[in-house]
Every structure is written in C-alpha cells, then in structure tokens.
Amino acid sequence: MKPKYEIMKIEKIILIIFLTAQLFVTSCHREYCIKNIDGCTIAVTEEPIESIPANIIEHIKRGEKSVDSIKSPVIGHALTTMTVEAPESSLMNFAADALREQAQRHTRQRIDVAITNKGGLRSEITEGAITFGDIYNVFPFENRLVLITLNGEQMLRLFSEIAKEGGEPISGARMEIIGYPDNPRCGRVKIGGKEIPTDKEEQLKREYRIATSDYLAQGNDGLTTLAEGYNKKEYTITLRDLMIEYIARHHKRTKGVSAHKDGRVKLIDATDK
C-alpha cells in the first residue's frame, strides 16, 4: 500500500502565500502597524483546528482545490508495482534507467552511468494509473540534472562508496557488493559491459560521463567522490520532470512503464572472497 504523502511542497507554498496575504491585509492599515508577533506550534492532524479563522480556512480550501487539479491528471500507467528496497529494487532501477535515458535525450550526450539516491525516492509507484501527484510523492525534491566526468580511479572509489551505503540506484553499470549488510565493500564493477582497468595509469586515462542530481554532485549521501567531477554541466530541468516526460513518452509507445530487479547489483557472501 502506498505511504500517505504528508504535505507536498506546492501545498506548503500556497499555504504560506495565503497566510502572508491575510496577515498583510488584516494587520496593517494606514493607522495601524504590527508591534509584535506571537507564534505557537500547531500539530498537523486530520482533526479540524477550530482556532484558525474561518476566512483562512476558506483560503486553504480554495488552495486545496487548485492543488488537486494539478495533482490529479493521469500521465501514464504502471504495469506493475515498483518499490524501494536496498541494495536493488524495481523502483531504484526504474529511476536510474529513466534518468539515464532522459539525460541522453536532453543533452544529446552519451551517458555511461546514471546515479541517483534511494533516499530521494519517498514513495512507491503502484500498479495502475500514474498521476502528477504520484510522481510528486516519489520525487518531492527540486533536484536538478547535472552531468560530470570521472576517471576510472574515481569511479572505483565511487562504487566503493555506493557499496558502503548498501547500494544506490544505478544504470549503465553492474557491481558486486561483498559482505552485505554487515560489512559491505565493493567487488567487481562493469560499465557498459567492461570492467574498469586494474592498472592505475589506464584508470586515469579512462573517462566516464555521469548523469546525477545537483544534490549528489555536491558529494552528499556518502557519495563524496561525485564532488570531484569535472567537465560539470548543470541543467535547469528537475529529475521529477525528467521522470514525468519518461512516463508520458513510454505510455504513448508501450501503454505503460515497469521495471524489475535484473541483478545489476549482485550480493556476494564474504566467505566466498
């Protein structure tokens, strides 16, 4: 069952706008001005809050109708339910594959590997109709597309970090994680079906183009090597909009989207190594 989405960012923005406007209209006239402001914490529950003035409630209800009209349109269909589960899952693979494909379409560059983070996937996609609201639930953040380049030595360090994090959504690569979950470390890594060279000089000669988010490109979520990326190019489009385009395009072509685990992240027993 899909987790309940608490408060969408757009709803927060609408609420802030309405409250600010109401405060301005009712609290500051020609002969009056604000002397002090008192505040308190109001718990977010499903119970009505009687202390909120009726005119504010009316503004919020109008805002909710506006938000619902944005969230409700269907953009495509999921042929199966996709969930998040480390070290590899259907939704993780879906997000990474969609990122890689859409990044190539938008930038007209070859993308060797796409990497996003499982912590950024905040819900699941259930079988059936996919609405704009569903995608906002899964991708609530304003993360934007970034392309960087890493050499072979940096890529090995990056995949070691991914192993320590217990796996992240990846596309264009396959990896082994040894000793998961107690003491995970990286085993063999293949990019485009080829292993990264073991020779240090050869590693430095190899370059790989990476599609990721601006958040991860700063070295967040334990993937610090991404911050070393060079030939960096930032784009204004968000990962969420890339996903919406991907779903809509595949809906026209195949009447739906789906993904499954395909062994791109393989767990190896530590006793075997």
Collect all residues with Cβ–Cβ distance below 8 Å to 252 and sequence separation of at least 6.
none
Show the tokens assigned to 75: 């953009």
Q: How far is CA 206 from CA 108, 213, 243, in A?
A: 21, 22, 30
pLDDT value at residue 24: 52
Domains annotated on the chain, with CATH:
9-71 (no CATH), 75-272 (3.90.780.10)
Tens digit of pLDDT per residue, the chain (273 long)?
444 444 444 455 554 555 555 555 554 556 677 778 887 776 777 666 667 777 887 877 887 777 777 889 999 999 999 999 999 999 999 999 999 999 999 999 999 999 999 999 999 999 999 999 999 999 999 999 999 999 999 999 999 999 999 999 999 999 999 999 889 999 999 999 999 999 999 999 999 999 999 999 999 999 999 999 999 999 999 999 999 999 999 988 888 999 999 999 999 998 765
pLDDT value at residue 22: 56
pLDDT value at residue 70: 82
